[in-house]
Amino acid sequence: MVRQPLTTFVCMQDGAMKRILNLMLVTTLLLSGCVLPGGAEGAPTATPETPVEPTAVLAPSTNTPEPLPTEAPTEAPTPEPTATTPPIGAIFGRVFHDVCANGDPSDEGCVEGAGDGRLTEGDEALSGVRVFLGEGTCPSFGRAESVTNAEGFYAFAELADGPYCVTVDPTANAGLVPVLLPGQFTIPRGGAATLLLTGGQQVGDINFGWDYENLPSVAKDCIDRVEVDEVLAYPDGWSLRANVEFARAWRLKNAGTCTWVEGYALVNGGGEAMTETTRIPLSAVVEPEGTIDIAVALTSPAEPGAHSGVWLLQNERGQNFGSGEQANVALTVSINVFSELLTTAALGQPTLVDTLDTDDRWNLFEDKNVALTLENGRITLLSKRTDGFDAWTVTASSLGDATIEAVFTTGPACDGYDRYGLIVRSPEINSGYFLGISCNGQYAIRQWTGKKWEVLAGWSPGVNINTGPNAINHLVVVMEGNKLSLFVNGQLQGSVTDNDAPIYGGGRFGPFIASQGTTGFTVYLEEVAYWAAP
């Protein structure tokens, strides 16, 4: 029998038992069980001497269980240490437009160009400002971040005692729109404050005053907001050669309640400007719900890859705004710059480079299967079918042995075996060899005889093929007698030699497209060049 401390097992039944407990608070009780009302036994649950077998056993246990002690020693319980809750502090405040900073004569403390550095009635709350908290003295970041609400409030809670740095970086954005700039802080100078929390302090007066440049001292009673009604030229995702001049154009709608008057402008808000122009004044007054067309002259960067810039509207007070519910979503200019022709390094200057500024060399058309159009220096191929039907066009002139390079960009939807590439060795428009790639990164080489398909190299995983939508791929086809080779982005995918059917000694070439399930599958032919064999 095991002696159980009274404090670990109690079976109370009625008032008599309570009186017994009062007499035996410091003793132990030898228990053999208690009978609960109704006759049910209430003995404590103990670990059975024979362990319960698991439902599945992988191997017999080699562990020998320790024997249970015949008697548990009675020991005085060790008192648990009392936990001490550390003091919890907080820091909060507001970010505001210090309207006095422009020299309000009604405020004796107001100084022209400096401001009074006080949060007073009439100051305008600034929402969407990012406030940063760091540990230690300023400068310090990385502990937490808060974004001011509609009343300009920010807060940091559950802070232990110690020094902290609170900072507002005017170049940081809560949305895509810089809420501040241009301007300067009136309090604290430099936009950073160091403070020491002790004893769980709740410090609630760490305010940041901001002076916008050249602003009136009264708040606007209307809302500035813009919406993009239409992108008129060079939409996001457009592919261009390096160092090419182009113009992004928008039709913008006044989606706010303020009238866009003299002083409103389109301004650069960050990213890659792609221009030296940073501010374009609006050319007309725009009432709410009205629209205006505006364009920015840009130049594509020299480096290949994706490039993006940010543009905003700015009101007559110098405050930037964009679209969306909070008017903090900026206008973007996102383009892809494709690299120089890959074959030039190996073969020198090409025999011909077609930058696709005109359609003189191409038979472009639209029918029930496909639409082929030329705009802004590229040919758009739009498949109207989704059943794998191949559609193509070819040049007006014929080409013998040669190396052809074509730059393609996929559209916003590109999936699976949607495919595109080059048709070559086409003596007539209704036959030729198709060397192409699919949106899932495979390649194939096929022949259309005019009556049936001959698969020379079936669909196989490719190497270094850019997949999916908005992908740029350089396709190079090398034609040497009856041998055809396909390269993609400088990597050989495969070669075929057609000995069973004569490869035509010459023929036309061009792009092809086929959708295998994607509605509106679109591919853009950006540039074509060829090197004729000597």
User: Is residue 125 a contact partner of residue 151, using CB atoms and an 8 Å limit?
Assistant: yes
Token reading at 374: 């030329």
Max intra-chain CA distance, the chain: 118
Report yes or no on 8 lying in a domain: no
Residue 7 within a domain: no
Same domain, 129 and 199: yes
28 part of a folded domain = no
- Residue 437 pLDDT grade (very low, low, confident, very high; cuts 50, 70, 90): very high
Same domain, 472 and 504: yes
- Which is more confidently placed, 508 or 219? 508
What CATH number has the domain bearing residue 441? Answer: 2.60.120.560
Number of domain units in the chain: 3
Distance from C-alpha of 114 to C-alpha of 103, rounded to nearest angstrom: 8
Domain span holding position 168 = 89-212
Which of 61-75, 119-133, 175-189, 257-271 is predicted least confidently? Answer: 61-75
Which parts of 183-330 fold into alpha helices (H)? none
What CATH number is given to the structural domain containing 120?
2.60.40.10
Distance in angstroms (rounded) separating the CA atoms of residues 15 and 420: 92
Alpha-carbon span 280 to 157, nearest angstrom:
43
| pTM tops 0.85, yes or no | no
**314 and 359 belong to one structural domain:** no
Are 398 and 498 in the same domain? yes
DSSP-based three-state secondary structure for 334: strand
Alpha-carbon span 248 to 228, nearest angstrom = 13
- What secondary structure letter does DSSP report for 41? B
Which 8-state DSSP code applies to residue 102? G
Residues 470-506: pLDDT tens digits?
999 999 999 998 899 999 998 999 999 887 655 556 7
Residues 412 and 478 in one domain: yes
Residue 178 confidence (pLDDT) = 54
Q: Which of 41, 50, 54, 56 has the alpha carbon at shortest distance from 11?
A: 41
Average pLDDT (44-65) is 34
Mean pLDDT of the residues in the chain: 79
Inform me whether the pLDDT recorded for 316 exceeds 50: yes
What is the average per-residue pLDDT within 288-312? Answer: 92
**pLDDT confidence of residue 498:** 82
496 within some domain: yes
Q: Is 382 in the same domain as 527?
A: yes
Is the pLDDT at 521 greater than 50? The verdict is: yes
Task: State whether 276 and 353 are in the same domain.
Answer: no
Over residues 375-418, the pLDDT tens digits come to 888 999 999 999 999 999 999 888 999 999 999 999 999 999 99
Contacts within 8 Å (CB) and 24+ apart, 217-222:
217/99, 217/100, 217/102, 217/103, 217/104, 218/99, 219/97, 219/99, 219/122, 219/124, 220/258, 220/315, 220/317, 222/256, 222/257, 222/258, 222/259
Identify whether residues 449 and 315 lie together within a single domain: no
Residue 384 lies in a domain: yes
How do residues 161-199 score in pLDDT, each as one tens digit?
Answer: 999 999 998 876 555 455 566 678 888 878 899 999 998
The proportion of the chain whose per-residue pLDDT surpasses 70, expressed as a percent, equals: 76
Same domain as 474, residue 399: yes
> Which of 67-71, 127-131, 312-316, 343-347 has the largest mean confidence?
312-316
Residues 249-259: what's their mean pLDDT? Answer: 95
pLDDT of residue 468: 94
**More confident position, 529 or 69:** 529
Q: Is residue 73 part of a domain?
A: no
Q: Are residue 192 and residue 321 in the same domain, yes or no?
A: no
State which of 313, 338, 363 marks the end of a domain.
338
Contact (CB, 8 A) for 420 and 437: yes
